[in-house]
Amino acid sequence: QVLVNIGNHFDLTSSIFVAPRKGIYSFSFHVVKVYNRQTIQVSLMQNGYPVISAFAGDQDVTREAASNGVLLLMEREDKVHLKLERGNLMGGWKYSTFSGFLVFPL
């Protein structure tokens, strides 16, 4: 579910954010794993390359969360998305979130 998408630069079908202009952007995400005895890893990808990752791997905890955030210099048409590298996430927008916005245009 998309809560705010001013300018429609986040494509819900592909789950990709496309920068409308060059600038400094802020991105953050929060994910929750489903099962104990597993590790999750989620990476924020910029143009197909990992920029930051978050891990949750406590083997005795069923609902463990992982979060991360970053400021990125992006060119117009650069793409950002999340990639689940390992594990299973808790379904639904109330549990796992992704946010991105322009901080400073260049």
Per the CB < 8 A criterion, the answer to whether 25 and 71 are in contact is yes
DSSP assignment letter at 47: T
Question: Which among 73, 69, 80 is positioned nearest to 45, based on CA atoms?
Answer: 80
d(CA 106, CA 103): 10
- CATH fold of 8-103: Jelly Rolls (2.60.120)
Q: What is the pTM of this model?
A: 0.89
- Which of 74, 70, 71, 69 minimizes the C-alpha distance to 23? 74
Mean of pLDDT values over 57-80:
90
How is the chain split into domains, by residue range? 8-103
At residue 93, the pLDDT reads 60
